[in-house]
Structure 1
Amino acid sequence: MRPAEPGQVPAIVDYVMAARASIFPQLDTTKVPDDLARFDEVYLGDGRGCFLLAWQDSQIVGAIGYLPYDRRFSQLRLPGTDTVEVVRLFVSPSCRGAGVAKALYAALLAQALRAGVGTLYLHTHPFLPGAIAFWQKQGFEVLDIESDPVWQTTHMRLDLEAASSRPTLASS
């Protein structure tokens, strides 16, 4: 797992957009999300964001990132400025089941701990096979499940102070 570098941004955006289109066909695939459009600023800029990649034979096969949480979900009560949102966990189909997601997350967790992050927040959806169970195995707790019949957005969090004292997460 390696941090993203400025020269890799076009390849990263291409990888994430293709993965996103295959997983979320209901989304507009022509509009690049803000975090990707401002990749350098969001993930490579002031050190508050992080983006990691898994590589195989000089090809990106996995990605994960975090960025400062923007409080856009008013129903959630998350701690102050040390909360980040875990985003863009994608693993190429040919590498799924090989531990790539777990390794990406472990590297992200280590970086978050080094950066003094207090809380990891993320949201996922029950139509993504194994996603909720994966995050629960990493120690995340469910905060809220939205009632929207299509998305059923499932909001989750992990308190890093508590997590860092658990052997399974601290040694990841």
Structure 2
Amino acid sequence: MHDFPSPRPVGPYLVRPATPEDVEGARSVMLDTFYREFGYGYVPAWHADVVDVRGTYLTGPRHLLLVAVHGDAPEGKVVATTGLLSRGPAHPPHPRWIAERYPSGSTAQLVRVYVRPGHRRHGLARTMVEMAADFAAAADYASLYLHTNVDVPGARPFWESVAKEIFDARSTGEHGPGFATVHYEIPLPR
């Protein structure tokens, strides 16, 4: 067993592991991102964790959901999320060699790294990614993997500042037309 990360203040925000009281706020951040940022909305095959936030993130000892809340009050508003799951990328849609390189069980997959537009550029995503990497290392994961849509403004420069690019899948169309998927690995602290 391992400990969940301790809360970290970031300016007027508090980044901490999610509680059951944060589920609706976290779900709102995720769904708003699908509809407003990505423009394709909820896709059941990709987003089942958003329907069952509690069961996906709050019950598994090797899973984690971090939230950033604005304000000092415990009832502060959730403005950002970052999830960590004990699974590697699935083939398909991802290339088989990536699925084999990052097998489920020994791979932590970083998901749902979303910050509401009015709260960006405050270090929230960077803090949450650092906390997730610390958690993954403490939970004895061998690697921390993620894929992202680099068409989202600021995504590519951010991920290149904290991760190593593994594969640029934009030419393969692995998620279909209009998806700019790039795969990354984040170094784990040891």
State the TM-score bracket (shorter-chain normalisation).
0.7 to 0.9
Residue in 1 that maps onto 2:80: 62
CA RMSD of the aligned region, Å?
2.3
Q: Name whichever of 54-63 and 66-75 sits farther off.
A: 66-75
Residue in 2 that maps onto 1:83: 107
Residue in 2 that maps onto 1:155: 183
Cα shift at 1:31: 9.3
| Alpha carbons 1:143, 1:157 under 8 Å: kept | no
Say yes or no: does 1:3 pair with 2:27: no
Normalised to the residue count of structure 2, the TM-score between the two structures is 0.75
In 1: Cα distance, 2:186 partner to 2:63 partner: 17
Cα shift at 1:68: 1.9
| Alpha carbons 2:106, 2:142 under 8 Å: kept | yes
Q: Which amino acid aligns with 2:131?
A: A
In 1: Cα distance, 2:109 partner to 2:145 partner: 5
| Alpha carbons 1:67, 1:86 under 8 Å: kept | yes
In 2: Cα distance, 1:145 partner to 1:30 partner: 22
| Alpha carbons 1:118, 1:159 under 8 Å: kept | no
SS of aligned partner of 1:124? strand
Cα shift at 1:29: 7.4
1:123-143 Cα offsets, whole Å, 9 max, x none, are 112211221221121132233
Residue in 1 that maps onto 2:62: 48
| Alpha carbons 1:54, 1:62 under 8 Å: kept | yes
Q: Which amino acid aligns with 2:179?
A: W
- The unaligned stretches of length 5 or more in structure 2 are 1-14
Residue in 1 that maps onto 2:29: 15
- The unaligned stretches of length 5 or more in structure 1 are 166-172
Q: Aligned to 1:100, which of 102, 124, 127?
A: 124
In 2: Cα distance, 1:11 partner to 1:120 partner: 25
Measured at CA, do residues 8 and 131 of structure 1 come closer, stay the same or move farther in structure 2, by a change above 3 Å? same
Q: How does 1:71-150 map to 2 (within 5 A)?
A: 71-72=89-90, 73=94, 74-76=96-98, 77-80=100-103, 81-147=105-171, 148=173, 149-150=177-178
| Alpha carbons 1:17, 1:29 under 8 Å: kept | no
Normalised to the residue count of structure 1, the TM-score between the two structures is 0.82
Aligned-residue sequence identity (percent) comes to: 26
Q: Which amino acid aligns with 2:142?
A: G
Aligned residues between the structures: 162
Cα shift at 1:30: 9.2
Cα shift at 1:159: 4.5
Q: Which amino acid aligns with 1:59?
A: K
| Alpha carbons 2:85, 2:108 under 8 Å: kept | yes
